[in-house]
A and B are shown apart, each in its own frame.
Chain A
Amino acid sequence: MDASIALILAQDGITSGAVYALLAIGLVLVFAVTRVIFIPQGELVAYGALTIATLQSGQFPATVWLLLLMGGIVFLKDIWQRLRGGEQAVSSGQLMRSCCVNLLWPLALWLLLKAVSPKDLPLPLQMALTLAIVAPMGPMLYQIAFEPVAEASVLLLLIVSVATHFVLLGLGLVMFGAEGMRSQAFSDWRFNLGPLMVTGQGLAVIGSCLLLMAALSLFFSRSVSGKALRATAINRLGARLMGIEVGQSGRLAFLLAGLIGAFSGILIGPVTTVYYDSGFLIGLKGFVGAIIGGLVSYPIAAGGAVLVGLMEAYASFWASAYKEVLVFTLIVPVLVWRSLGTHSLLDEEES
């Protein structure tokens, strides 16, 4: 391997690493706030990529139907909670809100897509539409699958998470079929920098990842909601005693994770062909990054994810068949190293 190939591989690695880093941040966020290991985030990535590709091909994206369905279920659940009363009763205001978010929003999207031809819309609007369709699935998933067992053990939440992954995977096949899709590139612009050809697409991916990370860090350090999320992550009970709605924080975390997932899908859509089941492996690689950060630290998680991207790029050059073997074997020593630091006999396991 000469220097130019090494540089090209590094560029590839950093580009995909940036996407993994976004996913890693989403996973850390969801885990810290709700203790859910959000495996279906990968499916949201695939949904994002396939939705924008469908929009660009001029067809009606089936994800809107799914959004209508999920919203309907959540709304029915809220009505049921209100009728049943008791501790978790839903107030009229909450019900109104739920109606807007879960019924009117998907309906509005449906009408909008029927009214305009999404194929002719400018790219930013197509992206916005995709986000508007896919991201709300995050909190809806939380309410349908995780909220009823919010206080259960991490293991049970993990199994529910895997079950959700299978459901979304199956639905992905129904909605998009087994064919892969590729969306249009953000730009065709490219220039040579020494031996390296820098593509506008690559720059756009890295740039928007950096932008999104900066926005998230501002959100966490400056806004009240961001601070509430951090408080919930540190101590659920304490946060609740301070008047923070833990359920609300969970939904917000899942909304952010949904946004991150859908956005990552939009970013990778033009780079690789995405199939209905591509999300899982992409998500898992974000995951390896998140685990390097111990599911706690955002910057280390992001750094770890970039490392995974680089590893993958070089592994695919040397031993492309063993690419996945290498990436997932890497995780084991990292896990050992992580858990060595956290182990103490005094505080008993059982979380």
Chain B
Amino acid sequence: MQQPGFLRSRNAGIALWAVAMLLLGLLPVPEFWITLANYIGLSALVALGLVLLTGVAGMTSFGQAAFVGLGSYATAVLTTTYAASPWAGLLAGLTIVVLAATALGGITMRLSGHYLPLGTIAWCLSLFYLFGNLEFLKKFDGITGIPAIQVFGFDLQNTRHMYLLIWLVVGLGLVALLNLLDSRSGRAIRALKGGVVMAESFGVNTARAKLLVFVLAAVLAGLSGWLYAHLQRAVNPTPFGLNAGISYLFMAVVGGSAHVWGALVGAAVMGVLSDWLQNNLSKLIGQNGNYEVIVSGLLLMLLLQRSPEGLWPGLVRGFRWLTSSRAAVKPGTEATSLPAPAGLRLISRALALPTRAKPEPGRTVLEVQSARKAFGGLVAVNDVSFRLQAGEILGLIGPNGAGKSTMFNLITGLLPLSGGAVQFLGERIDGKPPRTLAARGMARSFQHVRLMPTMSAIENVAIGAHLRGRKGWLAAVLRSNRVEEASLMHLASEQLSRVGLAGYELREAGSLALGQQRILEIARALASDPALLLLDEPAAGLRHQEKQALAALLRRLRDDGVSVLLVEHDMDFVMGLVDRLVVMDFGTRIAEGLPQEVRRNPQVIEAYLGGVE
């Protein structure tokens, strides 16, 4: 389960890479290598931000070049017009970038789906024309005479000095990003891509997480802009236009936008390729034309058609294949398990997390009072009332279309009530957003499994424990979150054992069988230490044995003091399991009581089997 081997290989990978980069800077390689490497480093920094923003969090931006421009122009104006130090320029640039990104992000992060990339195109163009038309930025001519960066009184004037600084920043950015993604905040960020509803219901403020990602990506771009201005010693609007913004995105996609290393691979490949094309194509074909654009466009098209995930996953597969054939490791043993999160490797340092006092048995946990939901003229839930006591499993059943799922969405806050009220432990919760549920002690599963399929099982469970941690993104970047991470991972692995998935910690969630995935959802819900567990058709699509295992698990949980509301339409599954039943049909409650009573109720029989006309 613990994989010290991988720990070594991750850190060894970074160290090896750092040494190689350092050597390249110190050895007497040709000057143009260094120049090229500088530009690659500058792009890689922006591409790192795009990996976070686009590849990980699923928000596409064509506009990162605008933030590079803001960072560049800020330092250019300060150091030339006001003769300030480049370090003041850095501070000013990053401040402006953070403010601009917060403002732009505040507006554009609300955009759903494909509106966001289009919005970024729009403001990238706007800023480009703004740079080119403002008097104090010297219009399209740009600003020249920018001084070099000084470190401890030493001028970084030559390309090799800048090389060391640029790649130091890239290396720090890389490690910061790797650290961030492997943390509580990082898991929340990774859930933004396709798991917003799920993350919200476990207390993640997804709007804030999106804005954070956007600002962090912009800061990386702004840093690149600062370095650019002092490397080039002059700025003009051209390198900050939409074309540059697009090519940054291309780099991330070519390298593999879901992987941090993909940013470096993409920047290097695109940098070397465009340099090579620029030098050789015109010799080959002739001067008239911009062949580099044509060829790189065509290559990109081909690459996306052949391997839409980018180059990095292929490189990793190739590397694995090479090393495993040498070490004679059986194929498939390593491939199925993901790298262990840092918290899991440090699990010995785990502390017990505080738990919630469970309501004493017999107390009313959930009370639904004449809940009503009308969609236009259709009344999906018609004045339904019921209550659930601590320590019981209550089944809410009914045939298809009875309004069970609507009822479930009313309780969990995804839909507003048209009338009536829902109380949890004596407090009204209707009208409260789903995000507040987890904090109150309610946790849910989803009818259609909502796991993060490419994350490991244990990380999925840890998302459930989001509110039981405190450390934010900065602690994650600086790695001062170790004890908390270890505690969260310890808790998550306990929940996995509790539901019978011990040994599956590092398996990709998407590779588990459906039955296991449903149980994993329950483990995730349990990780939030709920007083009430809300399960939406957990038995749907399960085989007979899986259903029996699930029933046994739910009984054990009840014995542990967890109350359960079970929405189901599978009568057989429910009958032997629940303490009481509420039956709905056509939006109305038609029966309530012990399973044996309900089974004999003529209205229920009619609803399930059809009446005799």
By a beta-carbon cutoff of 8 Å, the part of chain A in contact with chain B is 37, 145, 148-149, 152, 154-156, 158-160, 162-167, 169-171, 173-174, 177, 284, 287-288, 291, 295, 321-322, 324-325, 328-329, 331-333, 335-336, 338-340, 342-343, 345-346, 348-351
Contacts and interface: CB of A to CB of B under 8 A. Distances in A.
Contact of B111 (A156, A284, A288, A336): A336
Interface string B98-133: 000000000110111111011101110110011001
Contacts of A165: 297
Given A159-B304, A166-B297, A336-B107, 19 more contacts: A37-B118, A145-B301, A160-B301, A163-B298, A163-B300, A167-B298, A169-B290, A170-B294, A174-B294, A284-B125, A288-B122, A321-B129, A328-B129, A329-B123, A331-B118, A332-B108, A332-B122, A335-B122, A346-B414
18 contacts: A155-B54, A156-B308, A158-B60, A159-B300, A160-B301, A163-B250, A163-B298, A166-B293, A169-B290, A170-B292, A174-B291, A288-B122, A328-B122, A328-B129, A332-B119, A335-B122, A345-B200, A351-B114
A342 B294 contact: no
A163 B300 CA distance: 7
Interface string B259-293: 00000000000000000000000000000111111
B297 A335 contact: no
Given A287-B118, A348-B197, A351-B113, A170 B288 contact: no
Contacts of B114: 37, 154-155, 158, 295, 351
B602 to A, nearest CB: 35
B531 interface: no
Contact of B112 (A160, A167, A287, A343): A343
A169 B296 CA distance: 12
Contacts of A164: 297, 301
Given A148-B305, A162-B246, A345-B200, A167 B297 contact: yes
From B133, B197, B250, B297, residue with most partner A Cβ within 10 Å:
B297
Interface in B391-417: 409, 414-415
From B117, B118, B292, residue with most partner A Cβ within 10 Å:
B118
Contacts of A322: 129-130, 133
Contact of A291 (B118, B125, B301): B118
Nearest to A341: B112
B194 A349 contact: yes
Nearest to A161: B301
A164 B450 CA distance: 35
Interface in B416-454: 434, 450
A345 B246 contact: no
Contacts of B194: 348-350
From A329, A332, A348, A351, residue with most partner B Cβ within 10 Å:
A332
Contact of A328 (B126, B196, B291): B126
B253 interface: yes
Contact of A158 (B107, B117, B415): B117
Contacts of B246: 162, 166
A51 to B, nearest CB: 18
A321 B300 CA distance: 35
A288 B114 CA distance: 13
A335 B110 CA distance: 9
A345 B206 CA distance: 12
Nearest to A169: B293
B301 A171 contact: no
Nearest to B254: A159
B249 interface: yes
A164 B111 CA distance: 25
A342 B58 CA distance: 18
Chain A contact residues: helix, strand, loop or mixed:
helix
Nearest to B118: A291
Task: Across the A-B interface, give the 4 residue pairs with the lowest CB-CB distance, nearest first.
Answer: A170-B294, A167-B297, A170-B293, A166-B297
Contacts of B300: 159-160, 163
Contacts of B117: 155, 158
Contacts of A331: 118-119, 122
From A169, A295, A325, residue with most partner B Cβ within 10 Å:
A325
B122 A163 contact: no
A158 B114 CA distance: 9
A138 B337 CA distance: 45
A145 B125 CA distance: 26
Interface residues of B, number: 51
Interface in B125-154: 125-126, 129-130, 133
Contact of B289 (A173, A291, A349): A173
A287 B118 CA distance: 9
A146 to B, nearest CB: 9
A190 B62 CA distance: 44
A156 B304 contact: yes
A173 B290 contact: yes
A287 B291 CA distance: 27
Contact of B288 (A160, A174, A332): A174
Nearest to A158: B117
B334 to A, nearest CB: 29
B314 to A, nearest CB: 17
Interface string B287-321: 01111111011101100110010000000000000
Interface string B45-61: 00000000010001010
Nearest to A178: B288
A338 B300 CA distance: 31
Contacts of B119: 331-332, 335
Given A155-B60, A163-B250, A350-B194, A170 B122 contact: no
A291 B115 contact: yes
Contacts of A338: 115
A335 B115 CA distance: 6
A307 to B, nearest CB: 15
A334 B300 CA distance: 31
A328 B125 contact: yes
Contacts of A335: 108, 111, 115, 118-119, 122
Contacts of A325: 126, 129-130, 133
Contacts of A163: 250, 297-298, 300-301, 304
A20 to B, nearest CB: 15
A92 B370 CA distance: 66
B108 A154 contact: no
A336 B112 CA distance: 9
From B108, B110, B129, residue with most partner A Cβ within 10 Å:
B129
Contacts of B289: 170, 173-174
Contacts of B115: 291, 335, 338-339
Contacts of A336: 107-108, 110-111
B126 A324 contact: yes
From B110, B115, B125, B200, residue with most partner A Cβ within 10 Å:
B115
A26 to B, nearest CB: 16
B41 to A, nearest CB: 23
